[in-house]
Structure 1
Protein backbone atom coordinates (compact mmCIF):
# COMPACT_ATOMS: atom_id res chain seq x y z
CA UNK A 1 0.00 0.00 0.00
CA UNK A 2 1.29 3.44 -0.95
CA UNK A 3 0.58 6.48 1.17
CA UNK A 4 0.78 9.82 -0.63
CA UNK A 5 1.83 12.85 1.38
CA UNK A 6 1.21 16.48 0.46
CA UNK A 7 3.01 19.35 2.13
CA UNK A 8 2.78 23.10 2.19
CA UNK A 9 4.58 25.73 4.20
CA UNK A 10 2.89 28.82 5.57
CA UNK A 11 4.58 31.94 6.92
CA UNK A 12 3.12 35.03 8.59
CA UNK A 13 4.89 37.80 10.49
CA UNK A 14 3.48 40.91 12.12
CA UNK A 15 1.92 42.01 15.38
CA UNK A 16 -1.50 41.24 16.77
CA UNK A 17 -1.81 44.34 18.90
CA UNK A 18 -5.55 44.43 18.25
CA UNK A 19 -8.07 42.50 16.17
CA UNK A 20 -8.86 45.27 13.68
CA UNK A 21 -5.36 46.15 12.54
CA UNK A 22 -3.16 43.06 12.28
CA UNK A 23 -2.22 41.89 8.81
CA UNK A 24 -3.99 38.85 7.44
CA UNK A 25 -1.48 38.58 4.57
CA UNK A 26 0.61 35.40 4.57
CA UNK A 27 2.71 33.30 2.22
CA UNK A 28 1.95 29.71 1.29
CA UNK A 29 4.63 27.65 -0.43
CA UNK A 30 3.78 24.43 -2.24
CA UNK A 31 6.79 22.90 -3.96
CA UNK A 32 8.42 25.76 -5.85
CA UNK A 33 5.24 27.84 -6.01
CA UNK A 34 4.63 30.67 -3.59
CA UNK A 35 1.12 32.08 -3.17
CA UNK A 36 0.43 35.25 -1.24
CA UNK A 37 -2.95 34.95 0.45
CA UNK A 38 -5.12 36.83 2.92
CA UNK A 39 -8.48 36.61 4.61
CA UNK A 40 -11.59 37.58 2.68
CA UNK A 41 -12.25 41.33 2.85
CA UNK A 42 -15.38 40.54 4.92
CA UNK A 43 -12.95 39.34 7.61
CA UNK A 44 -10.61 42.35 7.38
CA UNK A 45 -8.35 40.79 4.75
CA UNK A 46 -7.06 42.01 1.41
CA UNK A 47 -9.79 41.25 -1.12
CA UNK A 48 -7.25 41.45 -3.97
CA UNK A 49 -5.49 38.32 -2.72
CA UNK A 50 -6.77 34.74 -2.72
CA UNK A 51 -8.26 33.58 0.56
CA UNK A 52 -8.51 30.07 2.08
CA UNK A 53 -12.12 29.65 1.00
CA UNK A 54 -11.20 30.40 -2.63
CA UNK A 55 -8.29 27.97 -2.39
CA UNK A 56 -10.67 25.18 -1.29
CA UNK A 57 -13.02 25.95 -4.20
CA UNK A 58 -10.06 26.08 -6.63
CA UNK A 59 -8.77 22.74 -5.31
CA UNK A 60 -12.17 21.09 -5.87
CA UNK A 61 -12.36 22.56 -9.39
CA UNK A 62 -8.81 21.50 -10.27
CA UNK A 63 -9.30 17.99 -8.91
CA UNK A 64 -12.52 17.57 -10.91
CA UNK A 65 -10.73 18.68 -14.08
CA UNK A 66 -7.80 16.31 -13.59
CA UNK A 67 -10.08 13.39 -12.67
CA UNK A 68 -12.25 14.03 -15.73
CA UNK A 69 -9.31 14.31 -18.12
CA UNK A 70 -7.99 10.97 -16.87
CA UNK A 71 -11.36 9.23 -17.14
CA UNK A 72 -12.01 10.72 -20.59
CA UNK A 73 -8.56 9.77 -21.91
CA UNK A 74 -8.94 6.20 -20.64
CA UNK A 75 -12.37 6.03 -22.33
CA UNK A 76 -10.96 7.32 -25.63
CA UNK A 77 -12.92 10.59 -25.51
CA UNK A 78 -11.10 13.57 -26.99
CA UNK A 79 -11.52 16.64 -24.76
CA UNK A 80 -10.73 19.89 -26.56
CA UNK A 81 -11.58 22.43 -23.92
CA UNK A 82 -12.64 22.61 -20.26
CA UNK A 83 -13.59 25.79 -18.41
CA UNK A 84 -15.08 25.94 -14.92
CA UNK A 85 -16.72 28.83 -13.06
CA UNK A 86 -16.73 27.23 -9.63
CA UNK A 87 -18.41 28.83 -6.63
CA UNK A 88 -18.36 28.11 -2.91
CA UNK A 89 -21.16 29.27 -0.62
CA UNK A 90 -20.66 30.15 3.05
CA UNK A 91 -23.90 31.39 4.70
CA UNK A 92 -23.51 33.67 7.71
CA UNK A 93 -26.33 31.91 9.57
CA UNK A 94 -24.66 28.47 9.66
CA UNK A 95 -22.70 27.48 12.75
CA UNK A 96 -19.97 26.64 12.72
CA UNK A 97 -19.29 29.05 9.84
CA UNK A 98 -18.17 26.93 6.87
CA UNK A 99 -18.47 26.36 3.16
CA UNK A 100 -21.76 24.51 2.87
CA UNK A 101 -21.75 23.95 -0.88
CA UNK A 102 -19.36 24.06 -3.80
CA UNK A 103 -20.86 24.18 -7.29
CA UNK A 104 -18.64 23.23 -10.21
CA UNK A 105 -19.86 24.50 -13.57
CA UNK A 106 -17.62 22.86 -16.15
CA UNK A 107 -18.11 23.88 -19.78
CA UNK A 108 -16.60 21.07 -21.80
CA UNK A 109 -15.92 20.79 -25.51
CA UNK A 110 -15.34 17.28 -26.83
CA UNK A 111 -15.01 15.56 -30.16
CA UNK A 112 -16.26 12.13 -31.14
CA UNK A 113 -18.56 11.35 -28.18
CA UNK A 114 -22.16 12.03 -27.23
CA UNK A 115 -23.03 14.56 -24.57
CA UNK A 116 -24.67 11.77 -22.55
CA UNK A 117 -21.47 9.72 -22.53
CA UNK A 118 -19.40 12.73 -21.53
CA UNK A 119 -21.80 13.50 -18.69
CA UNK A 120 -21.54 9.90 -17.43
CA UNK A 121 -17.74 10.19 -17.52
CA UNK A 122 -17.93 13.54 -15.74
CA UNK A 123 -19.93 11.97 -12.89
CA UNK A 124 -17.57 9.00 -12.76
CA UNK A 125 -14.68 11.45 -12.41
CA UNK A 126 -16.59 13.30 -9.69
CA UNK A 127 -16.90 10.05 -7.71
CA UNK A 128 -13.12 9.61 -8.01
CA UNK A 129 -12.13 13.21 -7.17
CA UNK A 130 -9.84 13.11 -4.14
CA UNK A 131 -10.71 16.61 -2.96
CA UNK A 132 -14.50 16.19 -3.21
CA UNK A 133 -14.14 12.88 -1.36
CA UNK A 134 -12.14 14.64 1.37
CA UNK A 135 -14.68 17.38 2.08
CA UNK A 136 -17.83 17.32 4.18
CA UNK A 137 -19.07 20.19 2.02
CA UNK A 138 -21.52 19.20 -0.70
CA UNK A 139 -19.83 19.39 -4.11
CA UNK A 140 -22.21 19.40 -7.07
CA UNK A 141 -21.87 19.55 -10.85
CA UNK A 142 -23.77 21.75 -13.29
CA UNK A 143 -22.12 20.84 -16.58
CA UNK A 144 -22.61 22.13 -20.11
CA UNK A 145 -21.24 19.91 -22.85
CA UNK A 146 -20.57 20.83 -26.46
CA UNK A 147 -19.85 18.12 -29.00
CA UNK A 148 -17.96 19.07 -32.15
Structure 2
Protein backbone atom coordinates (compact mmCIF):
# COMPACT_ATOMS: atom_id res chain seq x y z
CA UNK A 1 0.00 0.00 0.00
CA UNK A 2 1.26 3.46 -0.87
CA UNK A 3 1.22 5.62 2.25
CA UNK A 4 1.57 9.37 2.08
CA UNK A 5 -0.28 12.23 0.53
CA UNK A 6 -2.54 11.57 -2.47
CA UNK A 7 -4.02 14.31 -4.61
CA UNK A 8 -7.17 13.92 -6.70
CA UNK A 9 -8.52 16.14 -9.44
CA UNK A 10 -11.92 16.43 -10.99
CA UNK A 11 -13.50 19.15 -13.05
CA UNK A 12 -17.12 20.21 -12.83
CA UNK A 13 -18.50 22.15 -15.79
CA UNK A 14 -21.89 23.81 -15.47
CA UNK A 15 -24.03 23.12 -18.54
CA UNK A 16 -27.26 24.68 -17.28
CA UNK A 17 -27.14 28.17 -18.78
CA UNK A 18 -30.53 28.51 -20.49
CA UNK A 19 -29.55 31.79 -22.13
CA UNK A 20 -29.79 34.33 -19.33
CA UNK A 21 -27.36 32.78 -16.83
CA UNK A 22 -28.42 33.16 -13.22
CA UNK A 23 -30.82 36.03 -13.82
CA UNK A 24 -33.29 34.33 -11.47
CA UNK A 25 -33.54 31.21 -9.31
CA UNK A 26 -35.72 29.40 -11.87
CA UNK A 27 -33.92 30.84 -14.91
CA UNK A 28 -30.99 28.42 -14.95
CA UNK A 29 -30.51 24.68 -15.05
CA UNK A 30 -28.62 22.78 -12.41
CA UNK A 31 -26.98 20.41 -14.89
CA UNK A 32 -23.24 19.88 -14.94
CA UNK A 33 -20.70 17.34 -16.11
CA UNK A 34 -18.11 15.81 -13.78
CA UNK A 35 -14.85 14.79 -15.42
CA UNK A 36 -11.65 13.13 -14.28
CA UNK A 37 -9.02 12.40 -16.88
CA UNK A 38 -10.07 9.93 -19.56
CA UNK A 39 -12.81 8.36 -17.42
CA UNK A 40 -16.43 8.44 -18.57
CA UNK A 41 -18.23 11.70 -17.80
CA UNK A 42 -20.71 11.71 -14.94
CA UNK A 43 -23.87 13.70 -15.71
CA UNK A 44 -24.76 15.72 -12.64
CA UNK A 45 -27.50 18.01 -11.44
CA UNK A 46 -29.12 18.91 -8.15
CA UNK A 47 -31.74 16.92 -6.30
CA UNK A 48 -35.16 17.34 -7.96
CA UNK A 49 -36.32 19.06 -4.75
CA UNK A 50 -33.90 21.84 -5.72
CA UNK A 51 -34.99 22.02 -9.38
CA UNK A 52 -32.55 19.37 -10.55
CA UNK A 53 -32.85 16.65 -13.16
CA UNK A 54 -33.80 13.32 -11.56
CA UNK A 55 -32.07 11.40 -14.37
CA UNK A 56 -28.66 12.80 -13.41
CA UNK A 57 -26.49 12.15 -10.33
CA UNK A 58 -26.76 14.73 -7.56
CA UNK A 59 -24.01 15.56 -5.02
CA UNK A 60 -25.90 13.85 -2.20
CA UNK A 61 -26.10 10.57 -4.13
CA UNK A 62 -22.42 10.83 -5.01
CA UNK A 63 -21.50 11.32 -1.35
CA UNK A 64 -23.57 8.27 -0.41
CA UNK A 65 -22.01 6.25 -3.23
CA UNK A 66 -18.52 7.32 -2.12
CA UNK A 67 -19.12 6.17 1.45
CA UNK A 68 -20.55 2.84 0.28
CA UNK A 69 -17.81 2.17 -2.28
CA UNK A 70 -14.99 3.11 0.11
CA UNK A 71 -16.33 0.74 2.77
CA UNK A 72 -16.70 -2.05 0.20
CA UNK A 73 -13.15 -1.63 -1.10
CA UNK A 74 -11.68 -1.77 2.41
CA UNK A 75 -13.87 -4.74 3.29
CA UNK A 76 -12.81 -6.76 0.24
CA UNK A 77 -9.16 -5.94 0.97
CA UNK A 78 -9.46 -7.09 4.58
CA UNK A 79 -11.31 -10.27 3.59
CA UNK A 80 -8.65 -11.13 1.02
CA UNK A 81 -5.94 -10.65 3.67
CA UNK A 82 -7.89 -12.80 6.15
CA UNK A 83 -8.49 -15.65 3.70
CA UNK A 84 -12.24 -15.05 3.49
CA UNK A 85 -13.50 -15.46 -0.05
CA UNK A 86 -16.27 -12.98 -0.83
CA UNK A 87 -18.30 -14.18 -3.81
CA UNK A 88 -20.95 -11.45 -3.84
CA UNK A 89 -21.40 -8.01 -2.28
CA UNK A 90 -24.37 -5.67 -2.54
CA UNK A 91 -25.03 -2.57 -0.47
CA UNK A 92 -28.37 -0.78 -0.19
CA UNK A 93 -27.00 2.39 1.43
CA UNK A 94 -29.28 5.10 2.80
CA UNK A 95 -28.42 8.67 3.69
CA UNK A 96 -30.42 11.25 5.61
CA UNK A 97 -30.00 14.94 4.97
CA UNK A 98 -31.59 17.70 7.01
CA UNK A 99 -32.45 20.80 5.01
CA UNK A 100 -33.16 23.91 7.03
CA UNK A 101 -33.04 27.67 6.43
CA UNK A 102 -29.90 27.89 8.57
CA UNK A 103 -27.88 25.03 7.13
CA UNK A 104 -28.35 21.83 5.18
CA UNK A 105 -26.33 18.82 6.24
CA UNK A 106 -26.23 15.06 6.31
CA UNK A 107 -27.19 13.63 9.68
CA UNK A 108 -26.19 10.03 8.97
CA UNK A 109 -25.49 7.34 6.43
CA UNK A 110 -26.40 3.73 7.07
CA UNK A 111 -24.74 1.05 4.97
CA UNK A 112 -26.58 -2.24 4.54
CA UNK A 113 -24.03 -4.53 2.88
CA UNK A 114 -25.22 -8.03 2.09
CA UNK A 115 -22.16 -10.20 1.64
CA UNK A 116 -21.96 -13.79 0.45
CA UNK A 117 -18.87 -15.74 1.40
CA UNK A 118 -17.54 -19.18 0.55
CA UNK A 119 -19.10 -21.95 2.63
CA UNK A 120 -16.73 -22.95 5.42
CA UNK A 121 -15.09 -19.54 5.81
CA UNK A 122 -15.28 -17.83 9.20
CA UNK A 123 -18.64 -16.02 9.17
CA UNK A 124 -18.05 -14.29 12.53
CA UNK A 125 -14.75 -12.89 11.27
CA UNK A 126 -16.44 -11.80 8.04
CA UNK A 127 -18.94 -9.79 10.09
CA UNK A 128 -16.20 -8.37 12.35
CA UNK A 129 -14.19 -7.20 9.34
CA UNK A 130 -16.98 -4.71 8.56
CA UNK A 131 -16.06 -2.88 11.77
CA UNK A 132 -12.41 -2.81 10.79
CA UNK A 133 -13.29 -1.67 7.25
CA UNK A 134 -15.33 1.15 8.74
CA UNK A 135 -12.40 2.30 10.87
CA UNK A 136 -10.12 2.29 7.80
CA UNK A 137 -12.55 3.94 5.34
CA UNK A 138 -11.16 7.26 4.13
CA UNK A 139 -14.61 8.72 3.51
CA UNK A 140 -16.02 7.67 6.89
CA UNK A 141 -12.96 9.21 8.55
CA UNK A 142 -13.48 12.49 6.68
CA UNK A 143 -17.09 13.40 7.38
CA UNK A 144 -18.62 15.10 10.42
CA UNK A 145 -21.66 12.85 10.74
CA UNK A 146 -22.00 9.17 11.65
CA UNK A 147 -21.79 6.39 9.11
CA UNK A 148 -23.20 3.17 10.50
CA UNK A 149 -22.89 -0.31 9.03
CA UNK A 150 -25.54 -3.00 9.42
CA UNK A 151 -24.08 -5.97 7.54
CA UNK A 152 -25.57 -9.32 6.65
CA UNK A 153 -23.13 -12.13 5.86
CA UNK A 154 -24.42 -15.35 4.33
CA UNK A 155 -22.77 -18.46 3.01
CA UNK A 156 -23.00 -19.21 -0.68
CA UNK A 157 -25.53 -21.86 -1.59
CA UNK A 158 -23.81 -25.23 -1.56
CA UNK A 159 -25.64 -26.11 -4.79
CA UNK A 160 -23.75 -23.24 -6.48
CA UNK A 161 -20.36 -24.71 -5.60
What TM-score comes out, normalization by structure 2 length?
A: 0.87
After superposing the two structures, state which structure 1 stretch, 91-100 or 5-14, moved more. 91-100
> Within 5 A, what are the aligned runs for 1:21-40?
21-33=27-39, 34-40=41-47
Corresponding residue for 1:72?
Answer: 79
| 8 Å contact from structure 1 (residues 114, 147) kept in 2 | no
1:41 aligns with 2:70: no
Higher normalized contact order (CA 8 Å, seq sep 6+, divided by chain length): 1
Q: May I ask how many residue pairs the two structures share in their alignment? A: 148
> Following the alignment from structure 1 to structure 2, what is the Cα–Cα distance between the partners of residues 71 and 95?
41
Give CA-to-partner distance per residue, 1:51-79, whole Å, 9 cap, x none. 00000000000001100000000011100
Give 1:125's match in structure 2, choosing from 126, 133, 152.
133
**Contact 2:84–2:122 (8 Å) recurs in 1:** no
Name 1:6's counterpart in structure 2. Answer: 8
C-alpha displacement of 1:91: 2.3
Contact in 1 for aligned 2:110/2:147 (Cα 8 Å): yes
SS of aligned partner of 1:54: helix
Which deviates more, 50-59 or 90-99?
A: 90-99
Matched ranges for 1:52-67 at <5 A: 52-67=59-74
TM-score normalised according to structure 1 size: 0.94
User: Partner residue of 1:140?
Assistant: 148
CA RMSD of aligned residues (A): 1.5
* Cα distance, 1:122 vs structure 2: 1.2
Unaligned runs of 5+ in 2: 157-161
2:114 is aligned to 107
- Where structure 1 has 5 or more consecutive residues not aligned to the other structure, the ranges are none
1:83 aligns with: 90
Structure number with larger C-alpha Rg: 2
Question: Displacement of 1:95 after TM fit?
Answer: 4.4
Give the Å deviation of 1:4: 0.6
The whole-number CA distance in structure 1 between the counterparts of 2:80 and 2:34 is 32
